[in-house]
Amino acid sequence: MDLEELDRKRMPRHVAIVMDGNGRWAQRRGLPRTEGHAAGEEALLDTVYGAVDAGIDWLTVYAFSTENWKRPRDEVRYLMNFNERLLLTRRQELHGKGIRMRFIGRRDWRVPKRILRRIDETVELTEKNRGLTLTMAFNYGGRAELVDAVRSIAEAGVRPDKISERTIARHLYDPKMPDPELMIRTSGEYRISNFLLWELAYTELLFTEVLWPDFRREHLFAAIGEYQRRERRFGGVQVAE
């Protein structure tokens, strides 16, 4: 689908993506699963630049979940190194395009210190940019995020009767991040897998059979086209004019 076919006045402000299917992409080619992760880099960059061209303000991608530590040690190590290298080799290019990079997830002992350092450097490098905000969900889990929010509310000593939905939203990993209007999951899996549990409450969900390494900006535009055809009600009813 072409960008010109979309209604520019009804673009989602925030799109979130579960980048899934790397392992299957590789297996279908008789390659090790890790080759699928490597091939996902091009998909990510094309999608990011497509989002920039579409004028989307926020793009959030699920890069590593709190459950992904269960994978074989070699694959986990590969993913850590892969994400670190991706930051190192791509951040200048992304910075040059005015992209602001952010991270959500748990900074626990399992994440190698040098990766946390790279993350901090990257956030700092790009923090003044005013283009697309690209958020990487890394060692991210929706339940962990809610647990961490509850902990920080308790630590702040907020009185129970003062706790509202806004209080919780303000204690999430990135309080400034708006809720996504659209979530895309690739690879034909129909689940959330612990992604943005709070934030997805009223998000339009779109599932595609395309495996992540094959995903390109055209698929993003097609997903936005589908989103624009949907009627969002937020629990209300559509009143006839």
**Which residue numbers are catalytic?**
20, 68
Cα-based torsion angle of the residue sequence 38, 41, 112, 68 in order, rounded to the nearest 10 degrees: -70
Q: Comparing C-alpha atoms, which of 144, 79, 132, 73 is closest to residue 108?
A: 144
Q: Give bridge partners of residue 133 from the DSSP assignment.
A: 58, 100
CB count within 10 Å of CB 226 equals 15
Nearer to ligand IPE, 27 or 152 (CB): 27
Sequence-ordered alpha helix ranges (H) in 97-171? 113-126, 142-155, 165-170
213 binding ligand IPE? (CB under 6 A): no
Rounded Cα distance between 17 and 36, Å, is: 17
Rounded Cα distance between 31 and 34, Å, is: 8
Out of 31, 49, 68, 158, the only residue in the binding site for ligand IPE (CB under 6 A) is 68
Out of 95, 193, 214, 226, the only residue in the binding site for ligand IPE (CB under 6 A) is 193
24 contact, one of ligand IPE, Mg ion, none, CB 5-8 Å limit per kind: ligand IPE
19 binding ligand IPE? (CB under 6 A): yes
193 contact, one of Mg ion, ligand IPE, none, CB 5-8 Å limit per kind: ligand IPE
Nearer to ligand IPE, 53 or 108 (CB): 108
- What is the Cα 14 distance to its own chain's centre? 10
Stretch that binds Mg ion, among 17-25, 74-82, 159-167, 196-204 (CB under 5 A): 17-25
181 contact, one of ligand IPE, Mg ion, none, CB 5-8 Å limit per kind: none
12 binding ligand IPE? (CB under 6 A): no
Can you give the binding site for ligand IPE, defined by CB under 6 A?
18-24, 62-65, 68, 79, 187, 189, 191, 193, 212
